[in-house]
Amino acid sequence: MSYKPGTSLKTDTATEISIVRAQESEVGEVKYTSSITRTFNFLSEQVTTIARDVTAQAGGYKSGGSSAVTQSMTIENFSDFDSTREIEAMHKALVNSGGTPPPLDELACMQHPKRKTQLAKPRARTAETP
């Protein structure tokens, strides 16, 4: 069995940056590849996450081969994040790689950050409360 993890950062445009985390492993003749790509778009203030799993088994003309691909995608607004730390880190990485995103203080999520860190107080239980 072999396992190869990896993480890469790439600038897609002047206002987008992606982080890709991937791993490959093999068990016998079956090869597994999994990746998660998160693309931060600072103009639309959204993050697109794509998770992809590929399984392939080599086979010749006698035994055949098989493969399967599973992929899912989610799009989140910056304002939906519990914390802005990841946004700030990716903004800094984009600027450091030569990108020109809008300044952090101009992003709507930074002006009115949505915080979910405070939990609602539990209701007092009474005999009538289920």
Q: What CATH number is associated with residue 43?
A: 2.40.160
Q: Kindly indicate the confidence band of residue 57, based on its pLDDT and cuts at 50, 70 and 90.
A: confident
State yes or no: pLDDT of 112 exceeds 50. Answer: yes
Name the more confident of 9 and 2: 9
In a domain, 106, yes or no: yes
State yes or no: pLDDT of 65 exceeds 60. Answer: yes
In a domain, 119, yes or no: no
pTM: 0.72
What range does the domain containing 94 cover?
2-111
Q: What is the mean pLDDT of residues 70-77?
A: 94
Q: Kindly indicate the confidence band of residue 52, based on its pLDDT and cuts at 50, 70 and 90.
A: very high
pLDDT at residue 117 in the model? 42
Residue 45 backbone zone (phi > 0: left; psi -120 to 50: alpha; other: beta): left
In a domain, 129, yes or no: no
In a domain, 93, yes or no: yes
In a domain, 45, yes or no: yes
pLDDT at residue 71 in the model? 93
The number of domains in the chain is: 1
Q: What is the mean pLDDT of residues 93-99?
A: 90
In a domain, 130, yes or no: no
In a domain, 27, yes or no: yes
In a domain, 127, yes or no: no
Give the rounded distance of the alpha carbon of 38 from its chain centre. 4
Q: In what side-by-side order are the strands of the sheet with 30-41?
A: 2-13, 16-27, 30-41, 46-57, 66-77
